[in-house]
Amino acid sequence: MARIVMKFGGTSMAGTERIRRVAQLVKRQAERGDQVAVVVSAMAGETDRLVNFCREANALYDPAEYDVVVAAGEQVTSGLLAIALQAMGCKARSWLGWQMPIHTDSAHAKARIGTIDNEALLASMAGGTIAVIPGFQGLTDDNRISTLGRGGSDTSAVAVAAAIKAGRCDIYTDVDGVYTTDPRIVARARKLKAVTYEEMLELASVGSKVLQTRSVGLAMKEGVRVQVLSSFIDENAPDADSIPGTMIVTDEELEKSDVERQLITGIAADKNEAKITLTRVPDRPGAVSNIFAPLAEANINVDMIIQNVGRDKGETDVTFTCPQADLARCTDVLQNQREAIGYNRLISDTKVAKISVVGVGMKSHAGVASTMFTALADRKINIQAISTSEIKVSVLIDEDETELAVRVLHTAYGLDAE
């Protein structure tokens, strides 16, 4: 008998019919004799709807109150799934974030999980009751509801798996595994049997939304075994224990397996970045820190940064990217700091996309970046910014060219399926 965490995303939970289907999958797993904890997302589109209400109420909303609003979507689906399971004769109950509780820090809208009290949960599971846990939500030290950032139910699932020492955390979604790129953009994307934690972490962080970045980091740190698989299957489909999806594995496991290593593992696109340029910033020590210190203070993550060569008047332009969701706050902070920074104009652009290629292979191979630049140049796609890490190269381009760029690169790196 094992403990298993099953996580179901928004499309899998979209409506009573889908929830009933999920309940069947959960029941089947429980009937194998496993103790099951289920982590659920809100219905597809629901979180967006709730976020929009907050924006309409005030563009500079209080993140603590935003959390109260957006956590509601998961509360609904967790109750509904418990009801559906009970209707099938299973013992089930919901455990809201504050009831367990799942303790988080107080960085509202992007809180981090600290500890999870597992005692009552484990006792209930040991008594044969299926635990249904709304993803995405937790409780701060001062007793306020928090949420974990968009896509955060994946992280809830991995955290619960670590807390109850589950044998595996199955992330059920609307595709049957992790592909070389989003299979909805590139029909020739190939499904990966396994991908390493390190590569998955990088892919997620550059926009491959199949798993939330933090969930992968946490799984890597806690040694949680994670499988990505489809919930859109019929009764005759192979069960989850036979690993029909994609396993996230360590480097050593991959070495030992029969999976052939490619130079590039995957390509990701992110349309949720915004580009900000500050013109005529003084070109002197401390100027850049005057820009980024207040942004860090406001908890805004800055990604790509370019500082141009100074002009004769001792001035320069500074360009950087941040999540579009933070753009209003970012602009607000910079406008308040205008005197201290001493820039001329603030120009923002949300019509950009970041395209990234990821692969451990590039640690030991030269030429990965130049293949990217050449392939994009051949299609006359202009590069606005570049950033690299040990296993990744990213470029910022016009948003309209996203699909074309991903397809072109997928072919250029020889990833297309036969």
Give the one residue of 61, 66, 95, 136 binding ligand ASP; rule: CB under 6 A: 136
Number of residues near ligand ASP (by CB under 6 A): 13
Least distance (Å) between residue 81 CB and ligand ADP: 14
- Torsional sign, CA 168, 174, 176, 179: negative
Per rule CB under 6 A, is residue 9 in the interface with ligand ADP? yes
> Exposed, middle or buried: residue 59 (CB in 10 Å: 0-12, 13-18, 19+)?
exposed
CA 262 → CA 199, 220, 259, 360, distances in Å? Answer: 12, 21, 9, 9
331 within 8 A of 298, measured Cβ to Cβ: no
Report the site for ligand ASP in 5-34 (rule: CB under 6 A): 9-10
Assess 129 for contact with ligand ADP (CB under 6 A).
Answer: no
For 52, phi and psi rounded to 5 degrees? -60, -35
208 touching ligand ADP, by CB under 6 A:
yes
* DSSP β-ladder status, 130-134 and 92-94: parallel
CB 33 to ligand ASP: min, Å: 29
Residue 266 binds ligand ADP (CB under 6 A): yes
Tokens of residue 97, six digits = 């974030």
Segment contacting Mg ion (CB under 5 A): 9-17, 86-94, 187-195, 241-249? 9-17
Question: Does residue 191 contact residue 177 with C-beta atoms inside 8 Å?
Answer: yes
Applying CB under 6 A, among 18, 103, 150, 329 the residue interacting with ligand ASP is 150
Would you state the structure tokens that stand for residue 12, as one six-digit string? 């899998």
Query: Which residue, 270 or 317, is less far from ligand ADP as judged by CB?
Result: 270
Half-sphere exposure of 125 (CA within 13 A, CB side): 26
Q: Which does 208 bind (CB under 5 to 8 A by kind): Mg ion, ligand ADP, ligand ASP, none?
A: ligand ADP
Closer residue to Mg ion in complex, CB, 9/138: 9
* Both structure tokens of 39: 């982590």
Choosing from 34, 46, 67, 182, the residue that interacts with ligand ADP (CB under 6 A) is 182
**C-beta of 151 vs 359, nearer to ligand ASP:** 151
| 137, interface contact from Mg ion, ligand ADP, ligand ASP, none, CB < 5-8 Å by kind | none
Shortest reach from residue 200's CB to Mg ion, in Å: 13
Q: Which of 97, 134, 151, 359 binds ligand ADP (CB under 6 A)?
A: 151
Per rule CB under 6 A, is residue 179 in the interface with ligand ADP? yes
> Rule CB under 6 A: is residue 208 a binding residue for ligand ASP?
no
Phi, psi of 19 (to 5 degrees): -65, -35
Q: Which of 134, 151, 152, 177 binds Mg ion (CB under 5 A)?
A: 151
**Which of the listed partners (Mg ion, ligand ADP, ligand ASP, none) does 11 bind, with a CB threshold of 5 to 8 Å by partner kind?**
ligand ADP
Binding mask 35-74 for ligand ASP (x = CB under 6 A): ------xx----x-------------------------x-
CA proximity to 268, closest of 193, 202, 369, 181: 181
Contact 39, 27 (CB under 8 A): no
Q: Using an 8 Å Cβ cutoff, are 37 and 67 in contact? A: no
Query: Binding of ligand ADP at residue 410 (CB under 6 A)?
Result: no
Binding site partner of 182, from Mg ion, ligand ASP, ligand ADP, none, Cβ cut-off 5-8 A by kind? ligand ADP
Query: E strands of 135-241, at which residues?
Result: 137-139, 145-147, 168-173, 194-196, 226-230
**Where are the alpha helices (H) located in 44-117, listed in sequence order?**
46-57, 63-70, 72-87
Q: Which residues bind ligand ASP (CB under 6 A)?
A: 9-10, 41-42, 47, 73, 135-136, 150-154
